[in-house]
Amino acid sequence: MSEVVIDVRNVKKMFRVYRDRGNTLKDRILFAGRRKYEEHWVLNGVSFEVKRGEAVGLIGQNGCGKSTTLKMLTKILYPDEGTIEMKGRVSSLIELGAGFHPDLSGRENIYTNASIFGLSRKEIDERLEDIIAFSELEAFIDDPVRTYSSGMYMRLAFAVAINVDADILLIDEILAVGDAAFQAKCFRKLQEIKGRGTTIVIVSHAMSQLELICDRSIWIADGLVRMDGKPRDVHPRYMEWMSRKTQQEEKKEDERENGEVSETDNEGNLKRWGSGEARMTGVKVIGADGTEKTDFSPWDPFTIHIDYTAQKPLEDAVIGLAIYRSDGTLVYGTNTLIDTSSPVTLQTSGTVDLKIDGLSAANGSYSIDLAIHRPDGFNYDFWRDICTIQIADKVQTPGEIALSHQWDIH
Amino acid sequence: MIETLKEIWAYRSMIRSLVHKDLRGRYQASVLGFLWTFIVPLCQLAVYSLMFSIIMRGAAVEKFYLYVFVALIPWNFFSACLTGGASSVVAQQSLVNKIYFPREVVPVAYVTSSFVNMLLCEIIVILVSVFSGVPFNVLAYLCLPLVMLVEYIFALGVTMIISAIDVYFRDLEHILGVVAMAWMFVTPIMYDSSIVAGSRWYSLYQLNPMNIIVTAYRDILYAGKVPELTKLAVLLGISIVLLWIGFLVFGRLKRRFSEVM
């Protein structure tokens, strides 16, 4: 059992919402004692623990209290009731570029910004090279920050925050930084940091990103922990709940002729969900000989063929794939946005072929998730465990992947 | 309390970079840049010498421009703390609302930055003092750092309290603008305190800490003599108590800063 580094116990938080926002002397004197406010309890007793090295995602609807929770972990806000204990140095990627001065150079701003995270000058000196290299701004580092594009600005800010080397890293919705290439880089860096044993807490709406990095998701609703568990179990429940909620709110519009998609498996876990604006009507895994197959060697090329229909042509679609091993490990995931950096256009009906040059994975059973979604993560059709393929090599080799190889002995 | 001080010490590089950012950022976009730090007091000096030699010729005090200048620079520092220091936390709300750091860092950095600015101006004051033929008294000059320290602690104590209260009660900034003006006139900057000597308020007048501080600067840099050390020592004690109260008040009020901003 590893050590608990974040211990949140029965935390409650109330905000006073004033009807009249009188901050002046006149208001204070005239309305002393009868300033009307409503108590708005954002959190009603949230408890959870996070162990060292865990990566936890906080999810929930806007206003559910997840950002408030994160702010309390950061010690920007304090709970009204309950306790929060944190062990180790905390760094937050909540506000990127805090304290940047537009007229100072990138280099000088690195010093300012890093010092806000509590780094000493010596520590910053040690990290300066890494920070500049990560930001990819070597050529501009001595120019004033006001001459930077917003992308450059965010890159510099992220580079500083991620190089703090904290024990606990708190992140709020920042993985939307820069272009796809830089996002991917941030992601790799996060995974590297996680690999080093840093505890990570992320607030995000991008479920797919959370699934890639988090071991655990905590769903907060109405100021309470609604569900706490593996992302793959929590997210479908949450998505379904959200879409039901949206449905209720949008009922008046009533333009959902086809209705949304929702299917569950025998155990009650959600298998398929989404708005239904686009839906997969058929999925086949096709071998090199053109026939439908489920058994492959690690080297056999295969094609995933998808037939789809859409209620109307969609210009902002992303088609995503995730392959899981039977024990739940994510083996590989990608989508068209990662690969091409721009959304794809779908017609009212059509096909998608994804060619894969062999799974290169160890013998075993692999299940495939497919999704059509928007770049912001809103799902048109998310289909979990759509099909399973068996990988069997002629020989049994140790390890998790299969490497294409050749001996050359003289 | 000890914990807070330790934490502020751990964040000293933040204080340093805030001071650096303030001093460098202030004039960064201007053509003359950092030189403005020196040009402004020099221009002030020019205006005062012109004014007192032409317009208010009757001034009874010799080298009246220096008499005023020597007191004005330390006053400018304190006045900046009173007006700008009050809103220092509010001005940094984007930081306070987004990132954790010991909030005390903000007023400390503000006062320190204004203090460093004063130190730079003091270079000019000393040069003018020497060139005006004020006797260079080594013992007197040795007291200068003490006077500055007393003023720094006093200003910091005041700033801690007002910057924390201002978050909850923004009118304070405007009130303090008026207070600063009035305070300037009850401090002997533009006149000699002997003018007030006959008033029945004189004993109260002398309790003004800035009176003691300004007079000490004037003793050293205008009269070339050692200031009254007992008064300074008492004021040092009072300032330390004030600073301690300042930390307590700030510590109480800081927890809800980002809820009200």
Residue A236 within any structural domain of the chain? no
Cα B242-B244-B245 angle, rounded to 5 deg: 65
Q: Tell me the C-alpha distance between B227 and A229, whole Å.
A: 71
Q: Tell me the C-alpha distance between A95 and A162, whole Å.
A: 12
Chain A, window 143-202: residues with a beta carbon less than 8 angstroms from a chain B beta carbon = 144
A79 and A220 both lie in a single domain: yes
Residue A235 within any structural domain of the chain? no
Q: What pLDDT sits at residue B136?
A: 84
Q: Tell me the C-alpha distance between A397 and B6, whole Å.
A: 57
A199 dihedral zone (left: phi>0; alpha: psi -120 to 50; beta) = beta
Residue A256 within any structural domain of the chain? no
The answer to whether the Cα torsion of A172, A178, A181, A186 is positive or negative is: negative
Cα A364-A295-A367 angle, rounded to 5 deg: 55
Strand partners of residue A43: A13
Q: Tell me the C-alpha distance between B249 and B164, whole Å.
A: 8
Q: Tell me the C-alpha distance between A368 and A324, whole Å.
A: 6
Say how many C-beta atoms besides its own lie within 10 A of residue B112's C-beta: 19
A373 and A295 both lie in a single domain: yes
Q: Which alpha helices (H) appear in B92-170, and where do they start and end?
A: 93-96, 105-131, 138-168
A308 and A378 both lie in a single domain: yes
Beta carbons of A321 and A369 less than 8 angstroms apart? yes
Is residue A224 helix, strand or coil? strand
A87 and A127 both lie in a single domain: no
Closest CA to A154 of A175, A177, A176: A177
Closest CA to A323 of A363, A361, A290: A361
Beta carbons of A190 and A162 less than 8 angstroms apart? yes
Q: Does A404 touch chain B (CB under 8 A)?
A: no
Strand partners of residue A296: A391
Q: Tell me the C-alpha distance between A298 and A358, whole Å.
A: 5
Q: What pLDDT sits at residue A188?
A: 83
* For residues B90-108, average pLDDT: 89
A207 and A134 both lie in a single domain: yes
Q: Tell me the C-alpha distance between B114 and B117, whole Å.
A: 5
A116, B14: Cβ pair inside 8 Å?
yes
Measured between beta carbons, the chain A residues lying within 8 angstroms of B171 are 23-25
Residue A56 within any structural domain of the chain? yes
Q: Tell me the C-alpha distance between A242 and B9, whole Å.
A: 47
Q: What pLDDT sits at residue B172?
A: 93
Strands A302-310 and A349-356, by their bridges, are antiparallel
Sequence letter at residue A110:
I
Q: Which residues contact A253 (CB under 8 A, 6 or more apart)?
A: none
Q: What pLDDT sits at residue A257?
A: 45
Which chain B residue shows the shortest CA-CA distance from A15? B259
- Which residue from B10, B12, B17 is facing A111, i.e. has the nearest CB? B17
Beta carbons of A362 and A325 less than 8 angstroms apart? no
Beta carbons of B88 and B107 less than 8 angstroms apart? yes
Q: Does B203 touch chain A (CB under 8 A)?
A: no
Beta carbons of A60 and A70 less than 8 angstroms apart? no
* For residues B126-149, average pLDDT: 91
Q: Token digits for A380?
A: 């048109």
- Which residue from B25, B98, B170 is facing A94, i.e. has the nearest CB? B98
More confident residue, B164 or A71: B164
Q: What total of structural domains would you count in chain A?
A: 3
Domain that holds residue A11: 4-91+215-228
Number of Cβ pairs < 8 A linking chain A and chain B: 84
Chain B, window 167-196: residues with a beta carbon less than 8 angstroms from a chain A beta carbon = 169-171
Q: Tell me the C-alpha distance between B102 and B250, whole Å.
A: 11
Residue A237 within any structural domain of the chain? no
- Which residue from A23, A104, A144 is facing B170, i.e. has the nearest CB? A23
Residue A258 within any structural domain of the chain? no
Q: Tell me the C-alpha distance between B187 and A152, whole Å.
A: 51
CATH number for A200: 3.40.50.300
Measured between beta carbons, the chain B residues lying within 8 angstroms of A107 are none
User: What's the mean pLDDT when you consider all of chain B?
Assistant: 89
Question: Which strands form A4-18's sheet, in the order they lie side by side?
Answer: A37-51, A4-18, A81-86
CATH number for A336: 2.70.50.60
Tens-digit pLDDT string for chain A (410 aa): 578 999 999 999 988 776 655 556 666 666 555 556 778 888 998 999 999 989 999 998 887 888 889 888 988 888 989 999 988 888 877 767 667 888 888 998 898 888 888 888 899 999 999 999 988 889 999 998 889 888 888 888 888 888 888 889 888 875 566 677 777 788 888 888 888 889 999 988 878 778 888 889 999 988 889 999 988 888 888 888 887 777 666 654 444 444 566 666 655 567 788 888 888 988 889 988 888 888 888 888 999 999 999 988 988 899 999 998 877 778 888 888 888 888 889 998 999 999 998 888 888 889 899 999 888 778 888 888 888 888 888 887 888 888 888 899 98
Q: What pLDDT sits at residue A177?
A: 61
A337 and A377 both lie in a single domain: yes
Is residue B188 helix, strand or coil? coil
Q: B155 to chain A nearest CA, in Å?
A: 24
Q: What pLDDT sits at residue A255?
A: 45
Where is A322: in which H helix or E strand? Answer: strand A314-325
Q: Token digits for B248?
A: 């307590």
Q: What pLDDT sits at residue B17?
A: 86
Q: What pLDDT sits at residue A1?
A: 52
B98, A116: Cβ pair inside 8 Å?
no
* For residues B84-113, average pLDDT: 91
Residue A248 within any structural domain of the chain? no
Q: Tell me the C-alpha distance between B74 and B115, whole Å.
A: 9
Closest CA to A352 of A312, A324, A310: A310
Q: What pLDDT sits at residue B141?
A: 92
Q: Tell me the C-alpha distance between B122 and B240, whole Å.
A: 24
Provide the 8-state DSSP code for A234: H
Q: What total of structural domains would you count in chain B?
A: 1
Q: Which residues contact B150 (CB under 8 A, 6 or more apart)?
A: B213, B216, B232, B235, B236, B239
pLDDT tens digits, one per residue of B166-198? 999 989 999 999 999 999 989 998 888 888 888
Residue A288 within any structural domain of the chain? yes
Measured between beta carbons, the chain A residues lying within 8 angstroms of B259 are 15, 77
Q: Tell me the C-alpha distance between A329 and B199, whole Å.
A: 87
A47 and A74 both lie in a single domain: yes
Q: A27 to chain B nearest CA, in Å?
A: 11
Closest CA to B219 of B67, B41, B53, B45: B67
A401 dihedral zone (left: phi>0; alpha: psi -120 to 50; beta) = beta
Domain that holds residue B69: 2-260
Q: What pLDDT sits at residue B165?
A: 95
Q: Tell me the C-alpha distance between B259 and A197, whole Å.
A: 33
Is residue A315 helix, strand or coil? strand
ipTM above 0.85, yes or no: no
B9 CB burial (10 A radius; 0-12, 13-18, 19+)? exposed
Q: What is the largest CA-CA distance in chain B?
A: 57
Is residue A237 helix, strand or coil? helix
